[in-house]
Structure 1
Amino acid sequence: MRVTLERSALLKALGHVHRVVERRTTIPILSNVLLRAANSALKLQATDLDLEVVESVPANVGDAGATTVPAHTFYDIIRKLPDGSEITLEQSGTTLALSAGRSRFTLQTLPEADFPDLTAGDLPVRFDLAAAELKRLIDKTQFAISTEETRYYLNGIYFHAIDVEGIRMLRAVATDGHRLARVEIPAPSGSGEMPGVIIPRKAVAEVQRLVEDPDGTVVVELSPVKVRFTIGSVVLTSKLIDGTFPDYARVIPVGNDKQLLVDKGDFTSAVDRVSTISSERGRAVKLALGQGRLVLTVTNPDSGTATEELEVDYTADAIEIGFNSRYLLDILGQVDGDAAVLKLADPGSPTLLHEQDGTSALYVLMPMRV
C-alpha cells in the first residue's frame, strides 16, 4: 500500500473514527484503525465490537492495499504535523512508514485480516432526518440516560414512532429513575413503522459529535438489532441495547393541578446560588411555594444554610417540595424560551416540567425528602 493525501482531510477523518477506539482493551486489534487504500480514496475504519465508524477521504493511491495501525498514536502524530502537510503512507511488511516534510515515522501494524467487521445485515427501515432535528432529540434527552450498568436497558435513548392525537410522531425518551426526558417531532417519511429501539449511550454521544452541519440530512437505517447513521461522509453502525424499555407513560403525571410559571434565567441562577453550600451527596434544595412567591432553601449541617426568594406566577395552595438541585438544573438547561412551567401535585409525587409555549419536550422530576 502506498498513498498520499492532505493532512487536514486525514486529521478530520481520524478525529471522527479514533474516538470509538477504547484506550484499554484486551484484544490488540481493537486498538488499531483499519486503513484501506483503493479507488482514489483512503477508507478509515474503527470499532469496539459494539460500535463502528467508517469514513473515506480523497487520496492519491499509488498502490492499493490495507493494513491496521494503533489508532491513538496515529491520530497524535497527524495532529502534531504542521498545517498544510502532505502525508505519504507506505506499507512494508509489518510496518507502515509515514512521511511528511522532514518528519519520518514507522508504525507497527497488524494484519487487515484480523480486523473485525461489524456486519450490519439487513436494515429494512430507512428514512431521512434533518440533522438539526436529530441533534435536538439527542441534546434534550441525553442528560437523563442512566449510567447504572445493572439497569442496562436504561443506558440509552429509546426511539419509537407513536400516534399523538392522530399524528404520527418520532419520540425519544431517556430516564435514570430520578428524572425523565421525552421529546418528539413529526415522524419523517419512512419512520412510521420503525420498531422501538434503544440506542446505546456511546453511540448517541458519537452521533451528537458527528452532526457538525445542522442544515444537513442524516440517513437512518435500522433493524431490531442494529442502527446505522450516515452523516455526510461518515457512516456509524451500532448494535442496539437488547432489552425492553419500561412503560415510561406510567410515571408521567396527568393530575398535577398546581402550576408554577417562573422566569427560567432567574430560577436557574437562584437554584445554582443556593446549591453552592449543598453537600455533594445530598444536593437537596427545598422549594416553598405560596401566593406569588417562591423561597428556595438549602440546609447543610456542615456548612450552613442558604435562602433566596423569587417573585413567581403561582396562585394554587401553598406547598413545600424538595429536589436534587443538579437534576433540576439539568432539566432547566434544556428548556427553551424565557419561562419554565412546573406542574406539581404534592411533596411526594413527581413534578412535570415543560416550556411555556408547548409540550413537544416534556420532563419529569422525582422529589426528594428535605
Structure 2
Amino acid sequence: MRLVIERGELLRALGHVTSVVERRTTIPILSNVLLKASGQALELKATDLEREVIEEVRADVGAAGAVTVPAHILHDIVRKLPEGSQIDIRRDTEKERLTLAAGQARFALQTLGPEDFPDLNAGDLGTSFEIAAKDLKRLIDKTRFAISTEETRYYLNGIFFHIAESGKTSMLRAVATDGHRLAQAELPRPKGAEGMPGVIIPRKTVHELHRLIEESAETVSVAVSASKVRFEIGSVTLTSKLIDGTFPDYGRVIPQSNDQELRVANTDFMSAVDRVSTIASERGRAVKLNITSGKLVLSVNNPEGGSATEEIDVNYTSSPLEIGFNAKYLLDIAGQLEGDEARFLLADPGSPTMIRSAGDDNALYVLMPMRV
C-alpha cells in the first residue's frame, strides 16, 4: 500500500473516526483504525463493536492495500505535522510497519492485519429516509440532556425515536427521560419514515451523531432496522447498534389536566433561578417557587450556606401555589425553550409540571417537583 494525502484531509477524517476508539481496550485491534486505499481514495474505519464510523477522503493512491494502525497515535502524529504538508504513507510488509513521511519528519507505526478488523455489518435496514441536518440536530438538542445515566435502567440510556400521531399529523418524535424529567420533541414525519420501528439510540451514539451533524452537510440519510441504525452525513457513515429494551409508556407521565398556567419571561426566569441557586447545596439544589397573582418569588434556604430570594413579575391568575424544583433541571429545560415566554402548566406541589415555550408546539417538558 502506498499513497500521498494532504494533511488537513487526513486530520479531519481521523478526528471523525477516532472518536469511537476507546483509549483502553482488552482487544488490541479495537485500538486501531483500518486504512484501505483504492482508486483515488483512502477509506478510514474505526469501531468499538457498538458503533462504527467510516469516512472516505481523496488521496493519490500509488498502490492499493489495507492495514490497521493505532488510531490515537496516528491522529496525534498528523495533528502535529505542519499545516498544508503532503503525507507519504507506505506499508512495509516485511517489517509489518506503516511509515509516514512529511518534510523531514519520519514515523514508523506497528500494524495489525486488516483481515481481523471487525465489521459491524448492518445487513438489510428496512426503513430509510432523509432528514434535514438542522431538524435532526434540533430533535437531539431538545432531548439529550434528559437521557438517564443510570446503567441499571439501561433502556433509558438513549433517545427513543418513533413515529407518533399528533392530532391528524404523523410525526417523527424523540423522547428522553431519567425519571425526574422528560423531554419530547417532534417534527412532521419525513417521507419514507412510515413503518419505522420505535428505536432507542444509545447515549454515546447520540453525542457522536450530534458532533458529526455540527460539521455536516445539509441532509442526513437515515436507515433503521429493529437492531441497528445507520446515518450518512456527507462523507461520513455512522452505524450503531440500538438499545435492546422497551422504552416505558412515557405518555402516562405527561399531565393532561394541569389547569393552573404560569407565564413568565424566560430570560428573566433563567437569570433569577441561576442567581438564587448560587446558595443551594450541591446535594439538594432545590429552589422554591411561591406563585401568587402576578408575582413569582424564588427562594433557596441552605442551612449551611445561607438563603436567597428574588421576585419577578409573571402572568398568573389561579390560586396561590408553592412548589419546589431542582434548579439545574429547571435551567436545563429553560435553556431549550425557543420563545421569549415560558409556560408552566401546574396542578399541585406533588404532581408533575408541564413546561412549554409559548411559541413552540413541537416540544414539551415534564418536571417532577421536589420537597422544599
Compute the TM-score of the two structures, normalised by the length of structure 2.
0.98
Spell out, residue by residue over 1:96-151, the C-alpha distance to the aligned partner (whole angstroms, 9 max, x if none).
10111111111111111111000001101000101010000001000000000000
Is contact 2:33–2:45 with CA below 8 Å preserved after alignment? yes
Q: Partners of 2:250 and 2:343 in 1: how far apart?
A: 21
Q: CA deviation at 1:230?
A: 0.2
Matched ranges for 1:193-232 at <5 A: 193-212=195-214, 216-232=218-234
Q: CA deviation at 1:214?
A: 6.7
Q: CA deviation at 1:39?
A: 1.1
> Quick one: structure 1 residues 161 and 257, their matched pair in 2 at CA, closer, same or farther if it must change by over 3 Å?
same
Is contact 2:143–2:184 with CA below 8 Å preserved after alignment? yes
Map of 2:29 onto structure 1: 29
Map of 1:268 onto structure 2: 270
> Quick one: structure 1 residues 4 and 215, their matched pair in 2 at CA, closer, same or farther if it must change by over 3 Å?
closer
Paired AA for residue 106 in structure 1? A
Paired AA for residue 143 in structure 2? T
Paired AA for residue 359 in structure 1? D
Spell out, residue by residue over 1:177-211, the C-alpha distance to the aligned partner (whole angstroms, 9 max, x if none).
00000000000001021000000001111110111
Q: CA deviation at 1:162?
A: 1.2
Map of 2:140 onto structure 1: 138
Is contact 1:291–1:316 with CA below 8 Å preserved after alignment? yes
Unaligned runs of 5+ in 1: none
Structure 2 residue matching 1:276: 3-state secondary structure: coil
Q: Partners of 2:123 and 2:267 in 1: how far apart?
A: 48
Paired AA for residue 230 in structure 1? E
Map of 1:282 onto structure 2: 284
Paired AA for residue 135 in structure 2? E
Is contact 2:230–2:239 with CA below 8 Å preserved after alignment? yes
Spell out, residue by residue over 1:234-293, the C-alpha distance to the aligned partner (whole angstroms, 9 max, x if none).
000000000000000000001111111000100000000100111111000000000100
Q: Partners of 2:139 and 2:214 in 1: how far apart?
A: 15
Compute the TM-score of the two structures, normalised by the length of structure 1.
0.99
Map of 1:257 onto structure 2: 259
Map of 2:68 onto structure 1: 68
Q: Which runs of 4+ in 1 moved over 2 A?
A: 212-215
Q: Partners of 1:296 and 1:243 in 2: how far apart?
A: 40
Matched ranges for 1:1-370 at <5 A: 1-93=1-93, 94-212=96-214, 216-370=218-372
Structure 1 residue matching 2:271: 3-state secondary structure: helix
Is contact 1:278–1:298 with CA below 8 Å preserved after alignment? yes
Unaligned runs of 5+ in 2: none
> Quick one: structure 1 residues 43 and 214, their matched pair in 2 at CA, closer, same or farther if it must change by over 3 Å?
closer
Q: CA deviation at 1:212?
A: 3.1
Q: CA deviation at 1:215?
A: 6.3
Is contact 1:132–1:214 with CA below 8 Å preserved after alignment? no
Q: Partners of 1:300 and 1:23 in 2: how far apart?
A: 41
Q: CA deviation at 1:358?
A: 3.0
Q: Partners of 1:113 and 1:215 in 2: how far apart?
A: 32
Is contact 1:3–1:61 with CA below 8 Å preserved after alignment? yes
Structure 2 residue matching 1:211: 3-state secondary structure: helix
Q: Partners of 1:212 and 1:245 in 2: how far apart?
A: 27
Q: Partners of 2:320 and 2:327 in 1: how far apart?
A: 21
Q: CA deviation at 1:355?
A: 0.6
Q: CA deviation at 1:359?
A: 2.0
Q: Partners of 1:68 and 1:214 in 2: how far apart?
A: 26
Q: CA deviation at 1:213?
A: 5.3
Q: Partners of 1:171 and 1:80 in 2: how far apart?
A: 43
Is contact 1:260–1:314 with CA below 8 Å preserved after alignment? yes
Spell out, residue by residue over 1:58-102, the C-alpha distance to the aligned partner (whole angstroms, 9 max, x if none).
001111111111111111111111110100111113111011111
CA RMSD of aligned residues (A): 0.9
> Quick one: structure 1 residues 215 and 30, their matched pair in 2 at CA, closer, same or farther if it must change by over 3 Å?
closer
Structure 2 residue matching 1:122: 3-state secondary structure: coil
Q: How many residues align?
A: 370
Paired AA for residue 57 in structure 2? V
Is contact 1:132–1:215 with CA below 8 Å preserved after alignment? no
Is contact 2:68–2:112 with CA below 8 Å preserved after alignment? yes
Paired AA for residue 49 in structure 1? L
Report % sequence identity.
64
> Quick one: structure 1 residues 12 and 241, their matched pair in 2 at CA, closer, same or farther if it must change by over 3 Å?
same
> Quick one: structure 1 residues 82 and 214, their matched pair in 2 at CA, closer, same or farther if it must change by over 3 Å?
closer
